[in-house]
Amino acid sequence: MANRSSVGRAPPFLQFCLFSSDSPCIGDPKAFPGNVNSDGVVRHELQHPIIARYVRIVPLDWNGEGRIGLRIEVYGCSYWADVINFDGHVVLPYRFRNKKMKTLKDVIALKFKTSESEGVILHGEGQQGDYITLELKKARLVLSLNLGSNQLGPIYGHTSVMTGSLLDDHHWHSVVIERQGRSINLTLDRSMQHFRTNGEFDYLDLDYEITFGGIPFSGKPSSSGRKNFKGCMESINYNGINITDLARRKKLEPSNVGNLSFSCVEPYTVPVFFNATSYLEVPGRLNQDLFSVSFQFRTWNPNGLLVFSHFADNLGNVEIDLTESKVGVHINITQTKMSQIDISSGQ
């Protein structure tokens, strides 16, 4: 990190503090000295690397004889990441050397970013009923584990833990799962949650493989009704094995369905913010019998108008609104007996 005074601004900037998005003031003693003249450059090397989305510079002291001025540049560290893009169909399996994998300890780490609120990130299961699943549900992260249940007795091993929110923001999120027997640490973006699994068993027994990006269809209940992950994953590590590196070197065989690529595809959608009085007007299409609209939205307001359109030739109108946190569709038709159709959904 280097700083100097702004051009033509003297006396110099004397002291400042650096905040990252998840750390307090960085520096010893909680401040960095600035330059002593208007042309010199002062460099500071941080003792530890910082992983942050935002960096904030806080002025602490400057020479009172002049106006405050500062130029600063932050230098990043060398970083190489293996990125995999999942298209929502492809599944990447890591097959065990032996048909069965019995572990007392597991460490699974990865990063992901997505615009989808649902999707299976990883899954593994065994014929004895053991399983591990990490997935997104309603934009929250859910870890489900079962180290063994006794169908004839009182032992029930299913355990499910939910953490995070709004994880479909297309920003990178880091996940670390550390398991030692029934003791689990689930860390999302450096926020750790500790819990113990239900049941009395300590080993996780998986058969054949663990998959990333979804669940391969097998006819079992666990393989149906759940969406595959659509988005990017980075630096997938399963018990010390670099999954992304193996995939890049074509040591793993992805499913025949879908496409696996090694660059993160950015979405083409552009978010638009609306205040209480603004709106977006889009021209309609003439001579079209079909009316179709799709969009995603996020709001804290329980009420509001989302879409409104008149039909051609004064045949009616369609309105989509938000009423008491429920989405309503209202279709008014002027030339039929069923003059109005109302549909409501959500909560």
CA-CA distance, 340 to 121, in Å (whole number)? Answer: 43
For residues 182 and 238, state if they share a domain: yes
pLDDT in tens, 149-194: 766 656 688 999 999 999 998 899 999 999 999 999 999 998 999 9
Residue 8, pLDDT > 60, answer no
**Dihedral sign of CA atoms 318, 320, 321, 323 in order:** positive
Asked if 185 and 105 sit in the same domain, the reply is: yes
Query: Which residue, among 177, 209, 202, 207, has the nearest Cα to 104 in the 3D structure?
Result: 202
Domain assignment present for 219: yes
Examine the pLDDT at 12 and tell me if it is beyond 60. no
**Phi and psi at residue 248, to the nearest 5°:** -65, -35
Please indicate, yes or no, whether residues 140 and 64 belong to a single structural domain of this protein.
Answer: no
Q: Computed from CA positions of residues 296, 302, 304, 308, in that sequence, does the dihedral angle turn out positive or negative?
A: positive
Residue 204 has pLDDT above 70, yes or no: yes
Q: What phi, psi does 7 have (nearest 5°)?
A: -60, 130
Which of 233, 261, 289 terminates a domain? The answer is 261
The reported pLDDT for the residue numbered 221 is: 55
pLDDT tens profile 213-230: 999 876 555 556 789 999
Which phi and psi (to 5°) does residue 281 adopt? -110, 125
User: In this structure, are 135 and 238 located in the same domain?
Assistant: yes
Structure confidence at residue 300 as a pLDDT band (50, 70, 90)? confident
Which helix (H) or strand (E) segment holds residue 207: the answer is: strand 204-212
Q: What pLDDT does residue 29 have?
A: 45
User: 225 and 97 share a domain?
Assistant: yes
Pick the residue with more confidence: 297 or 140?
140
Domain end residue (candidates: 261, 288, 306)? 261
Q: Are 105 and 229 found together in one domain?
A: yes
- In this prediction, residue 292 carries a pLDDT of 83
Three-state secondary-structure class, residue 312: helix
Q: pLDDT-based confidence at 130, cuts 50/70/90?
A: very high
Residues 45 and 88 in one domain: no
Question: Is residue 78 situated within a structural domain?
Answer: no
Considering the domain architecture, whether residues 62 and 108 belong to the same structural domain is answered as no
Q: What percent of the chain has pLDDT over 70?
A: 82
In a shared domain, residues 256 and 282: no
Same domain for 226 and 89: yes
Among 81, 94, 85, smallest CA distance to 239 is for 94
Tokens for 26?
């960085």
In sequence order, what are the residues at sequence separation of 6 or more whose Cβ sits closer than 8 angstroms to the Cβ of residue 114?
A: 136, 167, 168, 170, 229, 230, 231, 232
Concatenating the DSSP letter of every residue in 40-109 gives: --EE---SS----S-EEEEEEEE-TTS----EEE-PPPP----EEEEESS--EEEEEEEEEEEESEEEEE
Residue 345 in tokens: 């959904």
90 and 68 in one domain? no
* CATH code for the domain in which residue 102 is found: 2.60.120.200
CA dist., res. 304 & res. 161, Å (int): 34
Mark whether 17 and 166 lie in a shared domain.
no
State the pTM of this model. 0.64
Domain count, the chain: 3
Q: Whole domain around residue 158: which residue ranges?
A: 83-261
Of 306 and 82, more confident = 306
pLDDT, tens digit, 9 for 90 and up, residues 310-337: 887 778 889 999 999 899 999 888 876 6
C-alpha distances in angstroms, 320 versus 47, 305, 331? 54, 6, 9
What is residue 233's predicted lDDT score, i.e. its pLDDT?
Answer: 96
